[in-house]
Structures are given as structure tokens and as C-alpha cells.
Amino acid sequence: MVRIRRDIASFGEAWPETLIWYAKAVRQLRSLDPNDRNSWAYLGAIHGIDRQGWINDGVITPQSPMPPQSEQDRMWNQCQHGTWYFLPWHRGYCWSFEQIIGATVEALGGPSDWGLPYWNYLDATNPNARDIPDAFMSATMPDGSDNPLHDAERNGLTRLGPSSWYPRDIDLSCMNQHYYTSAVGSLGFGGGVTAFNHFSGPTGACEGNPHNPVHVMVGGISPMGWMADPNFAALDPIFWTHHCNIDRLWAAWLTVPGNVQETGANWSDGPSPRQFEMPTSSGQTTVFVPGQTLPGKTYAPTYDDLTRGTGIGVGPLIAKTVLMEGIEMGADKGTEGPPESTLIGSSTESLSTHANAATTAVEMAQGPEMLAKSFEPSRLFLNLEHVRGETASSVLNVYIGLPDGHRELADTLALFGLQKASQEDGDHAGNGLTYTIDITGPANKLIASHDATLDMLEVTIEQPDEAKAAPVTVERISIYSQPAR
């Protein structure tokens, strides 16, 4: 049986049968206790759980039966962020969810081939693409009963896009990355090399945008809704349609000739000793590895379309092996890897922003590439390393400028999972988040406007007014250059 994942907008009605059955299945899974591996609470906790927060929000009660602690330690708080495992882990997560919802739909009398639909919010041919789909906004279902798809804490936007507290837009810039794996200090489509990584590590291009902004835009930050907090996000039914679309972007990226997909053993076999494990519709669990999520393998999904809202056409699958210095990533030692990046500047002090912006100056190395009036065709990357804070998520505007005060907005970052990455008793001892921004364009604007070389760069960070609940600290700013592909 093939489950085909379809664009919610393609159904042409507010309440297509696919979403009616989805809502009925959600209602059924919410009636199960958290110790049931097919329950809504159990599935949500796989991504992340704040037990007291869930009690406060009425998701569970203090008396709710929970799985044994050993199972919680193995199965819950798994989500992979800031890592090259971000995409394959979420693909396996969506696969498990789809199987469980599908089995529930069939048990309730629905179709046996129910497929998880996706929210195609970047489809330029659909003027309503960025609106939260109607079925997730209505308080009731067509039969007048309460709507489980609406029953979530959302305090953000109902239409995705720039706002006073998030001035940048979601986009498809990640699809311009040709390598899945990031070289040090640069961007790759899927992220940088890590072990098991439940927040922390280098954020990949697809995770950075559109994944993180959509989470924060829908959840909101003042007050913060479920989608903006990784310990609550998977409790919102719209989470799954968002991640289905993120997965579809990866599926589309894989069809582009010349894109280099990671296939080496360190990625394909997954992390150790903690592995990726998901529940099945029968109530058992199964371990999967990233290599099983690639096209043609067990966990590979089927989509109705890979062109609308992805910015690409259809081409043959390219899945090359990647080699990176010091790490053998596959058997084909002749395969091209991402160009090596070079550190050309770093800050000597940390930055902290709360009520006011914070600025630091970064002296740039005077290599040959710095004497040009343009960095192109080379790329220039700004890294914000070990970003820490006390709120579940936040928003950070990042500017680059010259000592004379002229500056350009480099990016607006959605700091999804900020608190989890900052917890000193967490998985990564409070290492914080790491973000990489391609600043080639803004840097060239600065150079052109002053007809000069760039030997000193000022970096400014600030939070929008709505995000100033607590300070955000950046331990180090670093700048890397990378030759063109």
C-alpha cells in the first residue's frame, strides 16, 4: 500500500476528507494515556516534553500513567536539531506518525491509504498559500463538534510573512545549497557533522529557513505558543503538516542534478550509542538509521508533486558520496566534497542583547580575497556560535556594518529551541545554538557603497521589542570564506 502525501491546498475545500479523518484520528489518540505508544502525548513527547508545562496546559494530569523511566530516556526528547541528522530523523518521525494515524483512520472506518498532507506555504502560484489552512483555524468541524486540529496554543501569525517582530521572510534560499553536509563555518542543505544532537551544533540551511521561522511565526513569542517551544511543538496538529513540507523540500532537493547527498557510513548508520527509535502502529518500537530514509528505502515517502513551492524542476536523482577532511564519509574516495572554508576573522568578546543592541568589531585577515571589491564568486559566512538564552525560542536581528555606522541587515534568526540548547544540565551541557549566515550579498553592498576593501566588520545583534523577555548571549562571532563550487 502506498500512502501519497498531498498538498492541503490541492483539495480545493476547507474540509477535505483527508483532514476530516485526520481530525478524527487526533481526537482518538488524545483519548489514550501517555504510556500508550500510539497516544498523542507519547508521540509529542518523542520530539520533546516539559512534564510540568504539559500539566499546566492540561495536556496531561499529575496522575497520568507514564512509561517506565528507562523507556522515556530512550524514546522521548529525541528530536535532532543543529545536526546533519535533522532531516532523516524527522523523516522517520513523520513516517511513524503517518503509519499510526493511518491505522487509526482505518480502524475508525476511513480509507486504508490515508497519507499525511503537507502545508505548501511557499507555493507562489497560490495567493493563499501562507495562510494557516482553514481546517486548523475553525473551532468546530463540519458536524459541529469541537475541532481537534484547532485545539492548540497559537499566539503568532495566521499568515506567514514579515511582521514587526520578525522582519524577514521565509524563502527557498536553502534550495541553492549544492552540498548536503556543511563544511566547517559554511552552510550545507542538511547541516554539519555531529553525533546524536538534541539541540546544539551547526544549523543547516533548510532548518534555518524555512523550518525555524515557521515554528516561531505560528507559535508566537509574546506570549509563546506551542509551535515555538520544542517541548510542546508536536502537540499542535499543524506541526506535522509543516514537517511534511520540510521533508518534501528535501525530497525535491534530491532530484536536482549535481546536488551532493551525504551517503557515507558516519551519516547513513546514524549515531551511537543512542539510536533513533520510533513506535509502530502495533505498539512495538523499531530502530531506524538515516540510510533507510533515502529514496527507494523503507522510510522514503511518496509525494503528489515536487515542483510547486520548491523552486525547482524535476530531474534524475543524484546521491553522491561526500568526503570531508579527517572523516571518511564513504567508499568512493574520488567523490567531490564541499569546498574547504577558511577562518578569516573572529571576535574577542561575547555579545549580550536584551533591552539594547550589542555590537562587536571583527578584524578581517588580509588574504588575497580581501583585496577585491567583491567577494563573489567566493562566499562569505558569518557564524554566531554558542547562542544562549532563557526563553524557549527568541528572535534575533543580525546586522553587519562598517565603523562609520553604515550597516546592512544580514538576517533575522528564529532561535528555535534556545532554552533547551542553553540548559547546563541538558544533553550538551548548555553549548547553545550555532547559526551560519551567508553574508556575501550584504558584504558586497558595504564594499560597493564605500568603494573600499573590507578589513574591519562590525556585527550588531538585537531582539525585536516583542522578544525582549530575557537576554540572548552570543559567545563568539566568526567569519569564514569559501571558494565557489
Q: What is the pLDDT of residues 129-138, one digit of tens each?
A: 999 999 999 9
| The three three-digit cell numbers of residue 36, written as one number | 500508550
Tell me the pLDDT band of 322, cut-offs 50, 70 and 90.
Answer: very low
Residue 336 pLDDT exceeds 70: no
Looking at the fold, whether 275 and 386 belong to one and the same domain comes out as: no
Listing DSSP states for 456-472 in one string gives EEEEEEE--GGGTTS-E
- The verdict on residue 390 lying in a domain is yes
Looking at the fold, whether 172 and 28 belong to one and the same domain comes out as: yes
- The verdict on residue 323 lying in a domain is no
Which of 231, 228, 282, 237 is CA-nearest to residue 45? 231
Q: What is the pLDDT of residues 286-306, one digit of tens each?
A: 999 999 999 999 999 999 999
Tell me the pLDDT band of 428, cut-offs 50, 70 and 90.
Answer: low
pLDDT at 320: 40
Looking at the fold, whether 179 and 120 belong to one and the same domain comes out as: yes
- The verdict on residue 331 lying in a domain is no
- Averaged pLDDT score across all residues of the chain: 92
Alpha carbon 338 to its chain centroid, in Å, reads 22
Residue where a domain terminates, one of 303, 332, 355 = 303
Residue 335 pLDDT exceeds 60: no
- Residues 5, 7: Cα–Cα separation, whole Å: 7
CATH number of the domain where residue 284 is located:
1.10.1280.10
Q: For the chain, how many structural domains are there in total?
A: 2
Looking at the fold, whether 358 and 212 belong to one and the same domain comes out as: no
What residue has cell string 484520528? 25
Looking at the fold, whether 394 and 270 belong to one and the same domain comes out as: no
Looking at the fold, whether 106 and 170 belong to one and the same domain comes out as: yes
* Contact call for residues 377 and 449 (beta carbons, < 8 A): no
Kindly state the average pLDDT of the residues 422-447. 88
Residue where a domain terminates, one of 274, 303, 332 = 303
Looking at the fold, whether 51 and 135 belong to one and the same domain comes out as: yes
| The three three-digit cell numbers of residue 152, written as one number | 492548540
Residue 371 pLDDT exceeds 50: no
CATH number of the domain where residue 453 is located:
2.60.120
pLDDT at 473: 97
Q: What is the pLDDT of residues 73-93, one digit of tens each?
A: 999 999 999 999 999 999 999
What is the Cα Rg of the chain in Å?
22
Residue 27 pLDDT exceeds 50: yes
What residue has cell string 555579545? 351
- The verdict on residue 315 lying in a domain is no
The single-letter DSSP state of residue 207 is I
Looking at the fold, whether 115 and 175 belong to one and the same domain comes out as: yes
- The verdict on residue 66 lying in a domain is yes
pLDDT at 25: 98
- Residues 52, 322: Cα–Cα separation, whole Å: 43
Looking at the fold, whether 292 and 350 belong to one and the same domain comes out as: no
pLDDT at 429: 65
Kindly state the average pLDDT of the residues 257-269. 95
- Residues 300, 318: Cα–Cα separation, whole Å: 15
pLDDT at 318: 41
pLDDT at 63: 97
Q: Which residue has the higher pLDDT, 456 or 196?
A: 196
- The verdict on residue 324 lying in a domain is no
Looking at the fold, whether 227 and 146 belong to one and the same domain comes out as: yes
Q: Which residue has the higher pLDDT, 373 or 250?
A: 250
Alpha carbon 398 to its chain centroid, in Å, reads 19
Residue 485 pLDDT exceeds 90: no
pLDDT at 334: 34
What residue has cell string 479523518? 21
Q: What is the pLDDT of residues 104-121, one digit of tens each?
A: 999 999 999 999 999 999
- The verdict on residue 316 lying in a domain is no
Tell me the pLDDT band of 55, cut-offs 50, 70 and 90.
Answer: very high
Tell me the pLDDT band of 484, cut-offs 50, 70 and 90.
Answer: confident
Helix (H) or strand (E) holding 419: helix 418-422
Looking at the fold, whether 134 and 222 belong to one and the same domain comes out as: yes
Helix (H) or strand (E) holding 324: none
Residue where a domain terminates, one of 303, 332, 358 = 303
Task: Return the percentage of the chain with pLDDT > 70, whole number.
Answer: 92
Q: Which range of residues forms the domain containing residue 462?
A: 342-482
Q: What are the two backbone dihedrals, phi and then psi, of residue 478, each rounded to the nearest 5 degrees?
A: -135, 150
| The three three-digit cell numbers of residue 461, written as one number | 545583534
pTM of the model: 0.94
- The verdict on residue 335 lying in a domain is no
Residue 452 pLDDT exceeds 90: no
Looking at the fold, whether 349 and 212 belong to one and the same domain comes out as: no
Dihedral sign computed on CA atoms, order 82, 86, 87, 93: negative
| The three three-digit cell numbers of residue 310, written as one number | 520548491
